[in-house]
Structure 1
Amino acid sequence: MSEGDHSCKLALVTGSTSGIGLGVARELAGSGYRIMLHGLLDAGAGADLAADFTREFAVDCGFSNADLSTLRGCTELVVATQEFGGSVDVLVNNAGIQYTSAAVDFPQARWDSLIAVNLNAPFYLSQQVLPAMLAVGWGRIINIASVHGLVASNKKAAYCAAKHGLVGLTKVLALESAKAGVTVNAICPGWVETPLIEPQIQAIAQAQGIDIERAKMALVGEKQPLPVATQPAAIGQLVVFLLSDAAATMTGIALPVDGGWTAQ
């Protein structure tokens, strides 16, 4: 397969009903990929979103709300995807959860659930879709890791452990697939402009008596020399590039998109 015949390819994007995942799914659909959406919506709302994609982008689109915290749920998602559109050509492991606490107080249940969704699920899903990719001699796995897969922050023990692990997993899968036409890469975003950061921005605005835009710059600029949050669509465009022929020899990378955060 090559960049030119991507219209027949099927992309599974986990956590794709909002935020980064939705931005990725929209860019892939806009490039002609058939899409399997996944997220926490109920079945009706998920079907509606899939129908919206089909109308807007003229591509086949399915939906699953499988629970990625278990191996059973990961298998359910892969089976549902295969029943919808056949073998997975592109897997974007984006789904993730967050919880913050000092390591000494970190609740075991929170640790277990965060590792399950953020690290175990990408492994299980990759393990299940790789055989078909290897068989046809083409496939792409993109792991949405984080700047926290490269550096650490206080009170993010589980998140940093999971994302560092995801970067390591990316490298191993890349090595194991290198001779078979399959590439595996990680994208490591810093601050991304999603609804998840809105409460933090509003809190800064209220505490400091400043407007929303200045509060956003204050939040982002605390870590990033370039105090601008990345747009979800930009992450999606980067994913599209990593699927292209131009990126055919890029594999095993952990690519920061972090406004200079990790350059310090």
Structure 2
Amino acid sequence: MKDRIVVITGAGKGMGPAISTSFAKEGAKLVLLGRDTEALDVLKMAIDEISSALVVKCDVTDPAACAAAVTAAESHFGPVDVLVNVAGGTGPVGATAWETTPEGFDEIIQLNMGGCFLMMRAVLPGMVARRYGKIVNVGGTFGMHGRAGRMAYSASKWGLRGITKSTAIEAGPYNVNVNIVAPGMVDGPRFRTKVMPGMAEARGLTEDEVIAEHAAEYALRRISTAEDVASACLFLASDVSRQITGVDLPVDGGWASL
């Protein structure tokens, strides 16, 4: 990945820092996108010790902001080689389909699906013109396998699979690979503070009991880490995966596809 120009959305939080750092260690030049520039500035300081990074404030649900972010990336570093769409949210947790509000549904669809679409729309013309590009969308295994209490989130990630696969067909003739990494449960602050409390309350269990239940469902009997997801993103963004496009790669210890 040396000297590749890599745009990463949602870089400052959740899995973003681990994914960004993995690319920096391979020599990529990073454009870090997000709404919270304070978190991005902290990440940039760490990345600048091993590579170089540009921070750009961007709301991925805003078409103009996405286009401006790509313009800023190209002005600073040059043409974008890789886009990694990490930005996303959890949506309503523990709510049934009939308890989910239209507003809650629309919000997570716009973020998890619309955000990826708008960023892809911003980078693809350049990639197509140069006949080179790698796009990695971060989805989720609940977009491959239904889950009670996560209907809106599941819908958003299921839809992202369709966006990814259709775009892979369209961009393939121009040497642009478009794939999706589908994490299972990923341990970290969001998992511990946003997902687990809601699931535990809905189920009448402790958070530790819910975590143990999830781990028991996986063949490897363990929850994934952000570094596990980062490795998968790096693989699909590199040229060693040159003949792979339109796939969903579960990173879940063996659940969705087994």
3-state DSSP of counterpart to 1:228? coil
Counterpart residue number, 2:89: 97
Counterpart residue number, 2:69: 77
The yes-or-no answer on 1:133 pairing with 2:120 is no
The yes-or-no answer on 1:30 pairing with 2:25 is yes
Deviation at 1:40, TM superposition (A): 3.5
Deviation at 1:113, TM superposition (A): 1.5
The yes-or-no answer on 1:60 pairing with 2:52 is yes
Q: Quick one: structure 1 residues 216 and 40, their matched pair in 2 at CA, closer, same or farther if it must change by over 3 Å?
A: farther
Counterpart residue number, 1:182: 176
Counterpart residue number, 2:236: 242
How far apart are the structure 2 equivalents of 1:244 and 1:95? 20
AA at the equivalent of 2:183:
P
How far apart are the structure 2 equivalents of 1:217 and 1:156? 16
Deviation at 1:148, TM superposition (A): 1.3
Deviation at 1:105, TM superposition (A): 2.3
Q: Which moved more, 1:44-53 or 1:190-199?
A: 44-53
AA at the equivalent of 1:226:
L
Q: Percent identity?
A: 28
How far apart are the structure 2 equivalents of 1:186 and 1:153? 19
Q: Quick one: structure 1 residues 215 and 104, their matched pair in 2 at CA, closer, same or farther if it must change by over 3 Å?
A: closer
Q: 2:10 aligns with which of 15, 35, 50?
A: 15
1:34-84, CA deviations, whole angstroms, 9 ceiling, x for partnerless residues?
011122424x553343122102x1x22011231122223322332332333
- Structure 1 runs (4+) deviating above 6 angstroms are none
The yes-or-no answer on 1:107 pairing with 2:101 is yes
How far apart are the structure 1 equivalents of 2:75 and 2:83? 16
How far apart are the structure 1 equivalents of 2:205 and 2:127? 52
3-state DSSP of counterpart to 1:262? coil
Deviation at 1:222, TM superposition (A): 5.0
AA at the equivalent of 2:186:
V
The normalised TM-score by structure 2 is: 0.88
Counterpart residue number, 2:136: 142
AA at the equivalent of 2:11:
S
Q: Which moved more, 1:107-116 or 1:246-255?
A: 107-116
Mapped contact 2:228–2:251 kept (Cα < 8 A): no
Mapped contact 2:187–2:225 kept (Cα < 8 A): yes
How far apart are the structure 1 equivalents of 2:89 and 2:178? 22
Mapped contact 2:250–2:257 kept (Cα < 8 A): no
Alignment map for 1:146-185 (pairs within 5 Å)? 146-185=140-179
Deviation at 1:245, TM superposition (A): 2.8
For these two proteins, the number of residue pairs brought into alignment is: 251
Counterpart residue number, 1:39: 34
CA RMSD of the aligned region, Å?
Answer: 2.4
How far apart are the structure 2 equivalents of 1:232 and 1:40? 20
How far apart are the structure 2 equivalents of 1:64 and 1:109? 28
How far apart are the structure 2 equivalents of 1:69 and 1:222? 36
Counterpart residue number, 1:3: none
How far apart are the structure 2 equivalents of 1:98 and 1:236? 19
Query: For structure 1, which runs of at least 5 residues remain unmatched after alignment?
Result: 1-5
**Structure with the higher fraction of residues in helix conformation:** 1
Counterpart residue number, 1:87: 79
